[in-house]
Structures are given as C-alpha cells and as structure tokens.
Amino acid sequence: MGMIECPKHGNQGLSLVSPKIAEYILNKIPFDFGTEQLLLEIDTGLKSIHPIDETFAETLRKRYGLKEKLEVSDNEEAFEVLSELKPVCEVCLNDSSFV
C-alpha cells in the first residue's frame, strides 16, 4: 500500500490499523484486548484487510449497520473508514502480540 520510515526497521511497507492498535504498537505495549479483521472494498476492485480493536469494530458495526462480518464495500463509507486508520510498520505489526 505504501512505505513508512520506521525508527527501528528503516523503510518498510505500511499497514493501516485502528488508532488503538497503532498506539500500542508505537509504544511497544502488549495487546490486552481482542482484535478483528476489517475488509474494505473500493469500487476500483481494490480489497484490503486491516486489523482493528474490538471497540473500533463495535463503532463500525453501529455506524454502518454491520452484523457479524466487518465488511465495508460502499465507496464513500470505505474511504471514511480509511481516513480513520493509522499507518504502522508492517514488521512492527508482525512483531507485536497481534500476530
């Protein structure tokens, strides 16, 4: 998706995650909460999966009327959600307790 300059790993690919997950990764705090996977689909056919925390997931369920699946395929709604996600280093994400 893009690149990020990580202080620990240098230039790396980036992952977009919920703000809480980004905060925990950046501060090297072990996760003490559950996570879910969010699927976003843009009308160009681009699909992306993003790790999000349970609270963020519940907010999206209420906002967009989602049931069990966390899947946003309306173009405008998908871009709204993307604007709320935060970038983190893929290596840091893989090294975190998320994986």
pLDDT for the residue numbered 2: 84
Checking if the pLDDT of 57 tops 60, the result is: yes
pLDDT for the residue numbered 1: 57
pLDDT (average), residues 10-29: 93
Are 88 and 7 in contact by the 8 Å Cβ rule? The answer is no
Checking if the pLDDT of 68 tops 90, the result is: no
pTM above 0.85, yes or no: yes
Answer with the residue of higher pLDDT: 86 or 68: 86
Average pLDDT value over all residues in the chain: 91
Phi, psi of 58 (to 5 degrees): -65, -40
Lowest mean pLDDT among 36-40, 41-45, 79-83: 41-45
Q: 61: burial class by Cβ within 10 Å (0-12, 13-18, 19+)?
A: middle
pLDDT (average), residues 20-42: 92
CA dist 32 and 21 (Å) reads: 10
Q: Look up residue 85 and give its DSSP letter.
A: -
Interhelix angle 19-26/54-64, nearest 10 degrees:
160
Are 75 and 43 in contact by the 8 Å Cβ rule? The answer is yes
CA dist 2 and 74 (Å) reads: 23
